[in-house]
């Protein structure tokens, strides 16, 4: 059975700290791995990773994929209170004519001033 | 316009009611999705429409009935729901649902459903 596991489940830090969020997966017919940020309602897209070892960066956020060890990390440097959210990892699996996303349980990040 | 719009934002219904959730996008996306999200859980896929045809039904009970009238609209018809169906229902769209184009989903704000 396909699964995506995130750790830690919850993280509490102070502003300015650096955090690393983990995502491991076991998926048949892997195509890509995605990170989303979910605040109050809709998840918003952060990164899509398809190749191992290539870091994607957006401001203070960066992510990398290891397809051999089947995991990805999301780094956030110099955290701010606005980074407080649930971070969802999802893996795109090829299935028949239609691909689908399998979401992990999420990591709840709380950043305090 | 890069938005996915869902209505209503909140819905309270009894177990005998019939109601519908609506979703609209004008990005020209050809794949649309319904996800169900319970509190503190990740979104769970319910249905995928690709080019207005139902391509994935994740064994969802028949009291949930999806409909895709055209490429911009997606409905979820609700009938005889149970209290455990109370959740946030998220609509999403993507360029396509095949060949690696699924990944970047654009989510709506969700419809929070409470079944009494």
CB contact under 8 A, A31 and B100: yes
From A59, A55, A61, select the one nearest A21 (Cα to Cα): A61
CB contact under 8 A, B42 and A106: yes
Residue position matching structure tokens 């699964």:
A3
The answer, yes or no, to whether residue A16 has pLDDT greater than 70, is yes
Banded pLDDT at B97 (limits 50, 70, 90): low
pLDDT tens for each residue of A59-110: 999 999 999 999 999 999 999 999 999 999 999 887 666 677 888 989 999 9
Banded pLDDT at B112 (limits 50, 70, 90): very high
CB contact under 8 A, A103 and B42: yes
Q: Collapsing DSSP states into helix, strand and coil, what is residue A14?
A: strand
Rounded-to-integer distance, Cα B75 and Cα B98, Å: 21
Rounded-to-integer distance, Cα A60 and Cα A110, Å: 16
Q: Which residues, in sequence order, are CB contacts of B72 under 8 Å at separation 6+?
A: B24, B25, B26
Q: What are phi and psi of A112, to 5 degrees?
A: -105, 150
**Total CB pairs under 8 A between chain A and B:** 68
Q: What is the DSSP letter of B58?
A: -
Cβ burial of A16 (10 Å; 0-12, 13-18, 19+) is exposed
Rounded-to-integer distance, Cα A80 and Cα A98, Å: 38
From chain A, the residues in CB contact with B43 under 8 A are: 43, 88, 103
CB contact under 8 A, B108 and A42: yes
pLDDT tens for each residue of B18-74: 999 999 999 999 999 999 999 878 888 899 898 999 988 888 999 999 999 999 999
């Amino acid at each position: 059975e396909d699964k995506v596991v995130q750790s830690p489940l919850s993280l509490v830090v102070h502003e300015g700290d650096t955090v690393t969020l983990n995502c491991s997966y076991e998926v048949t017919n892997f195509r890509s791995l995605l990170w989303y940020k979910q605040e109050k309602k809709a998840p918003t897209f952060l990164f899509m990773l398809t190749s191992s070892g290539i870091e994607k960066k957006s401001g203070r956020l960066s992510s990398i994929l290891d397809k051999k060890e089947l995991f990805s990390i999301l780094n956030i440097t110099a955290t701010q209170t606005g980074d407080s959210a649930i971070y969802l990892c999802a893996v795109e699996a090829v299935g028949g004519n239609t691909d689908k996303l399998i979401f992990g349980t999420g990591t709840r990040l709380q950043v305090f001033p | 316009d890069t938005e996915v719009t869902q209505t209503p934002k909140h819905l309270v219904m009894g177990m005998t009611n019939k109601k519908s959730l609506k979703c609209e996008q004008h990005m020209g996306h050809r794949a649309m999705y319904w996800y169900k999200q319970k509190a503190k859980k990740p979104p769970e896929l319910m249905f995928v429409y690709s080019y207005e045809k139902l391509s994935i039904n994740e064994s969802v009970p028949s009291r949930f009935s999806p409909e895709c009238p055209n490429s911009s609209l997606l409905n979820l018809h609700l009938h005889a729901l149970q209290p455990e169906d109370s959740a946030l229902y998220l609509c999403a769209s993507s360029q396509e649902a095949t060949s690696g184009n699924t990944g970047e989903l654009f989510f709506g704000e969700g419809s929070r459903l409470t079944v009494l």
